[in-house]
Amino acid sequence: MTRAFVAVRPPDGVLDAVEALVGALDVPDARWTDRDQWHVTLQFLGNRADVDAVAAALAPLAVHAGNVRFGGVGAFPTPRRARVVWLGVATGEPLLAQLAACVAVLLRPLGFEPEGRAYHPHLTLARCKTPTDVRAATDAFATAEVGAPWTAGEVVVYESTRGRAGARYTPRATLTLPR
């Protein structure tokens, strides 16, 4: 049993564009995530996941691959009192929502409950220890498209290991989506 989640990982060329965006953002006292941590979570599985059972349960996933493009910087819970700074999805949100919903249906028999709140696909860029006003950054990049459109063609089951330098994510299973 391990800490795990299910996600979509963008290709390297898109991650290059995300890296350039991060270099342009000014968020005081932010703890930036690094390139190896960048993904779009479909479902967090908690600290007691059997990743082999999860991968087997996801084998029938039949959502077709589709195009995604990042765009727009935002914050949770609000830009005025941000704890998380994120990069949103400009194109492909319905695809990612469909993937998240199908993953939830397939994993429910294993005891994984879906989130109680609406799904909001995003890539986490930074975390703030205390609520921070990031409106200047979110306003400056609210509509910016980041990177080229890319095909979300795989779903990955990741193991997450916590450490002093932050979490390390190890792919444990990759499922290819039909075209």
Q: Which residues are catalytic?
A: 39, 122
- SS3 at position 42: strand
Contact (Cβ atoms closer than 8 angstroms) between residue 79 and residue 133: yes
Contact (Cβ atoms closer than 8 angstroms) between residue 80 and residue 133: yes
Q: DSSP readout, 128-174?
A: EEEEE--HHHHHHTSS-EEEEEEEE-EEEEEEEE--TT--EEEEEEE
Q: Tell me which residue of 65, 55, 23, 18 sits closest to 37, measured CA to CA.
A: 18
